[in-house]
Structure formats: structure tokens, C-alpha cells
Amino acid sequence: MKVTDHIKEAKETLFSFEILPPLKGKSIQSIYEGIDPLMEFKPKFVNVTYHREEYVYKERENGLLEKIAIRKRPGTVGICAAIMNKYHVDAVPHLICGGFSKEETENALIDLQFLGIDNVLALRGDSIKTESVFRPHKDGHSYAVNLIHQIKEMNEGIYLLDDVELTGTDFCIGAAGYPEKHFESMNMSTDLQYLKAKVDAGAEYIVTQMFFDNKKFFDFVNACRSIGITVPIIPGIKPIKSLNHISFLPKFFSIDFPDDLSKELLKCKSNADVEALGTEWGIQQSKELKDAGVPCIHYYTMSNSSQVKTIAANVF
């Protein structure tokens, strides 16, 4: 079932969450351990992230270095199939531009269609650790809007090769939005125009980057509506868990902590202090969002469900 259909049928704010694929070598059981505690809150869909390849350099016999691609986490297709089979809940795989040709993207979408997966979240993706800027595959997409356009064309029965008559896919396409703007955008206005281009290309709903100030989310929604973006906008929430998050989250995700939160974080002396504060902030933030009538609240669990379970138990 499509994310947009779940939203249309809902009589109240929905609950959803996002997980990471396990590290290479771990079993599917590690995924289930993160999902099981959250199933009592009846999520309508579960997102599965995708992580790009990394590279190592190995010296060859002639003294030259050979660039070798490695993947530290398995892909999302098999994980999504396992989740849907075990929990009978919709899985939403992330599709990224980085590291994939258009042909590889088409093949992945064909596999997803055969598995009965109705939704995809289309993202550009981040640069790999060894590159300072994002570099697309030479035969791939540079921007999420191009990826969305390819998925939309497949929905219309337009494939890369038209040597045989092919049936169109029927994916519900999600896109990412940034209440505090994407770090590469010149300003909020240009970032909103890029977002509108993704919607115009075929995105049917938006999931936001994490934020900790609800006012910024409400302002973002109002700004989207003012330029003609009418699709559902789902807020993304990430509970703060450790002392490391205090500096890591603002730096890595280009977000700000509101003054009230930052003042309390400065008082924290341990990870336990931060986790308690982060959980309570998440509860209050979620309650306000739910009271405002958001269609769904989407939680970034990072495969650790304990905080999200506590928040959900106080909100849903």
C-alpha cells in the first residue's frame, strides 16, 4: 500500500520509523531486534536506508595502487522483503543517485516491483568519505530530481530500452525536505525551489531532515504551501542520545539546536543525562506536532529503538 494512501485513510497522526541495514556479517535478527519493540505502535511503513560503497586502496605487485570498492552494509532490497514478510507492514527502501548508473537503478526498481514494494524514497545521497564533494556515477544521476524523473517515467511504462512493450510500475515516490535548508543550497528560497522541482517531477510526499525546533518545521510547511507544494509533509525526528550528538548532529546534518535545548544540553554531564533530556524533548516535540495535525511522525532510530519506544508510548 502506498504511503499517500495510508495518509489518506488515517484518522489521526501516523507513526513510522527508519532503520539502518546491519553491518556486514550480522544476521537479519539484528534488524528484528530493533523493530520488534516498536510494532505495538502499529507503524504503517518502515524506511530502510541505503549506504554507499567505500573504497580502499591495495598495492599491486607492480607497485601501483588498485582502488577496490567495499560495502559495509547489505543493500535494502532483501531487508525490505524480509520486513514485509515478517511484519506485514510496508517497507520503504531508499534509492540514491551516488554509485549507481541509470541501468542499475532501473534494475533495482524492477526487483522492487516484483517483490510488491509500492514505495521508494528518492535521494541524491551523500558523498563518500574519501571525496570532499558529491560525484555521481558517470552513467547515473547528479540530483534527486533526475532520479525521481526516471522513476516517474517507469511508472508511465517508459524504460531505458523500449525493444519490448513493458508494463509501467506503480511506485509512490517520496522526497527529502530540509526545514533548515540543505547545506549546499545558497539560501532557503533556492532550496524550496529545488524541492518544488522534485514534486513537479513526480514526488508525492516529503519527509524532512531531522530538526529540534518545531517552529522551523511549521515555517517550512507554510513556505512550501506558499509556492504551490501541496503534497503531504512528514516531520522527521531524531532523539538526542549521547554527549557526542551535541556536536555531531549540528555539524553533520547542518542543523541548529534551539536555545532552550542547548542550555539544558550544556548542563549534561553524562550520556545518561543527554539521553534523558533527548527523550523528554522528543516527547514534547512529538506531542506538539501531533496536536498540530501532522500526517505522520517519522523517527530516525538508527536501529536503536529504546528511546523511540519511550517517546511513542507517551505520544501514540
Please tell me the pTM assigned to this model.
0.91
- Answer whether 121's CB lies under 8 Å from 158's CB: no
Q: pLDDT confidence of 67, banded at 50, 70, 90?
A: low
Please tell me the predicted confidence (pLDDT) of residue 216.
Answer: 98
Band of residue 76 on the pLDDT scale cut at 50, 70, 90? confident
Fold of 3-315: TIM Barrel (3.20.20)
Q: What is the pLDDT of residues 195-239, one digit of tens each?
A: 999 999 999 999 999 999 999 999 999 999 999 999 999 999 999
pLDDT of res. 5: 98
At residue 127 the predicted structure's pLDDT band, cuts being 50, 70 and 90, is low
* Interatomic CA distance for residues 187 and 209, integer angstroms: 16
Round to whole Å and give the CA distance between 313 and 104.
Answer: 41
Q: What is the pLDDT of residue 130?
A: 62
What are the structural domain ranges in the chain? Answer: 3-315
3-state DSSP call for residue 113? helix
Q: Quick one: pLDDT at residue 71?
A: 55
Number of residues written out for the chain: 316
What stretches of 36-171 show up as alpha helix (H) in DSSP? 76-87, 102-114, 144-155
pLDDT in tens, 150-200: 999 999 999 987 766 678 999 999 999 999 999 999 999 999 999 999 999
Handedness of CA 36, 41, 42, 47 (dihedral sign): negative
**What phi, psi does 247 have (nearest 5°)?**
-100, -30
Q: Which residues pair with 310 in a beta bridge?
A: none
For residue 54, pLDDT over 80 is answered with no
Host H or E run for residue 74: none
Average pLDDT over residues 11-18: 97
Q: What is the pLDDT of residue 272?
A: 97
237-289 residue pLDDT tens: 999 999 999 999 999 999 999 999 999 999 999 999 999 999 999 999 999 99
Give per-residue pLDDT as tens, 79-88: 999 999 999 9
Q: What is the pLDDT of residue 180?
A: 97
What confidence score (pLDDT) does residue 305 get?
93
Whether 46 and 89 have beta carbons less than 8 Å apart is answered as yes
Residue 274, number of CB atoms within 10 A of its CB:
21
